[in-house]
Amino acid sequence: MEVRLAEHAGFCFGVKRAVDTVYEQIKIGKNIYTYGPIVHNEEVVKELADKGVKVLASKEELMSLPGGRDFRADPCDAPCPETKVIIRAHGVSEEIYRILEEKGLECVDATCPFVRRIQKKAAEESDKGKHIVIVGDPGHPEVEGIVGRCKGPVTVLESLQEAEEAVFLDKEELCIVAQTTFNYNKFHDIVEILGKRGYNGNVVNTICNATEERQRSARALALEADVMIVIGSRHSSNTTKLYEICSEVCAHTYFIQTLDDLHLALPKAVRLVGITAGASTPNKLIEEVQNYVRINF
Ligand code: SF4
């Protein structure tokens, strides 16, 4: 039986950069917080927590940070020396930067440059008066961060049905962008539906290469494999999408977060087990699963 890893799997450039940033800051040794978990992977977050990195779960938690103070009430040129807040790869809204500045907290910005590019594009086109359409998950922090850059009208569409039902003003110019981790085919379907309904605009495919590559190579492997294992967090949107894509073409697709979730009873006829992993899954975990399947089956 062959065990094969998808050509592109695991940490993407932006996530690796963000995680490396946290480890660099640990070496400097300040009181470190990340605004939200640095990646959607519990294992990575737990490892960082063991090294003293704390996660801020909300804006309210950021506002009540120990050591933080109201900059307006207590103006001071220097940032609070004890505390650093790291912004994760998928970015935050302008409001969070404002709060950090007002509180005089030091900010280390690990927003992925590709996410920053969408934020910039959305802000520029919104300033020109366009209606910004973001194809993505409205509850995802990356999308919230992009919405926060738009001064004018902005609509988030996640499903084909929402694209069928969305209503825009007649003469309104649209600028359509996508969440970096959105399913490539679904993005095109949504754009096509809008076009058929007479809503055309400036379409900017902002889906990240890393996502496309992972989706394409996962599908290619799943087409050949008898069994597919998708590794990653259930909270990771790109891992969930990999699972959807693999399930469509491989009936025996398993979604696991760690090796503990892997309870395979493989029939003898299995020739090829394919493995893929989301952009927030560390290499260490992928190797563990690969080795386990190789040795035990
Ligand atoms: Fe950056 Fe792409 Fe990774 Fe998102 S998926 S963090 S855009 S490299």
Q: For residue range 45-60, what is the model confidence (pLDDT) as tens digits?
A: 999 999 999 999 999 9
> How sure is the predictor about 61, in pLDDT bands with cuts at 50, 70 and 90?
very high
The Cα–Cα gap between 219 and 225 comes to: 10
Total number of domains in the chain? 3
104 plus 127 within the same structural domain: no
User: Is 39 close to ligand 1, i.e. is its CB under 6 Å away?
Assistant: no
252 plus 219 within the same structural domain: yes
Mean pLDDT computed over 134-146: 93
223 plus 290 within the same structural domain: yes
Domain endpoint, select from 88, 112, 136 = 112
User: Is 218 close to ligand 1, i.e. is its CB under 6 Å away?
Assistant: no
Q: Does pLDDT of 93 surpass 50?
A: yes
Geometric angle at alpha carbon 102, from 142 and 124, rounded to 5°: 40
- Which residue numbers are catalytic? 142
User: Is 14 close to ligand 1, i.e. is its CB under 6 Å away?
Assistant: yes
**What residues make up the domain containing 270?**
2-11+209-296
Q: How high is the pLDDT of residue 77?
A: 52
81 plus 136 within the same structural domain: no
User: Is 18 close to ligand 1, i.e. is its CB under 6 Å away?
Assistant: no
Compute, in angstroms, the gap from residue 41 CA to the centroid of ligand 1: 15
Angle of helix 209-224 versus helix 184-196 axis, rounded to 10? 110
Q: For residue range 237-268, what is the model confidence (pLDDT) as tens digits?
A: 889 999 999 999 999 999 999 999 988 777 66
Q: Does pLDDT of 74 surpass 80?
A: no
Mean pLDDT computed over 191-202: 93
Nearest CA to ligand 1 atom 6: 14
- CATH code for position 52: 3.40.50.11270
Domain endpoint, select from 184, 203, 222 = 203
End-to-end Cα distance, the chain: 8
88 plus 143 within the same structural domain: no
> How sure is the predictor about 41, in pLDDT bands with cuts at 50, 70 and 90?
confident
User: Is 176 close to ligand 1, i.e. is its CB under 6 Å away?
Assistant: no
197 plus 137 within the same structural domain: yes
32 plus 73 within the same structural domain: yes
**What does pTM read for this prediction?**
0.79
> How sure is the predictor about 155, in pLDDT bands with cuts at 50, 70 and 90?
very high
125 plus 184 within the same structural domain: yes
289 plus 218 within the same structural domain: yes
Q: Does pLDDT of 67 surpass 70?
A: no
Domain endpoint, select from 59, 83, 112 = 112
Question: Which of 69-78, 155-164, 192-201 tops mean pLDDT?
Answer: 155-164
Main-chain phi, psi angles of 115, to 5 degrees: -70, -40
Report the atom number in ligand 1 closest to the C-alpha of 13: 8
> How sure is the predictor about 71, in pLDDT bands with cuts at 50, 70 and 90?
very low
DSSP 147-186: HTT-SS-EEEE-SHHHHHH----TTPPEEEEE-TTS-HHH
- CATH code for position 179: 3.40.1010.20
The Cα–Cα gap between 193 and 201 comes to: 12
77 plus 92 within the same structural domain: yes
Mean pLDDT computed over every residue of the chain: 90
Q: How high is the pLDDT of residue 66?
A: 63
Q: How high is the pLDDT of residue 72?
A: 47
75 plus 140 within the same structural domain: no
Q: Does pLDDT of 81 surpass 80?
A: no
User: Lowest-pLDDT range, 125-129, 136-140, 258-262, 264-268?
Assistant: 264-268
Rg over alpha carbons for the chain, rounded to the nearest Å, is 21
Compute, in angstroms, the gap from residue 89 CA to the centroid of ligand 1: 7
Residue among 44, 87, 208 to mutate when testing ligand 1 (max atoms within 8 A of CB): 208
288 plus 213 within the same structural domain: yes
- Other CB atoms within 10 Å distance of the CB of residue 93: 17
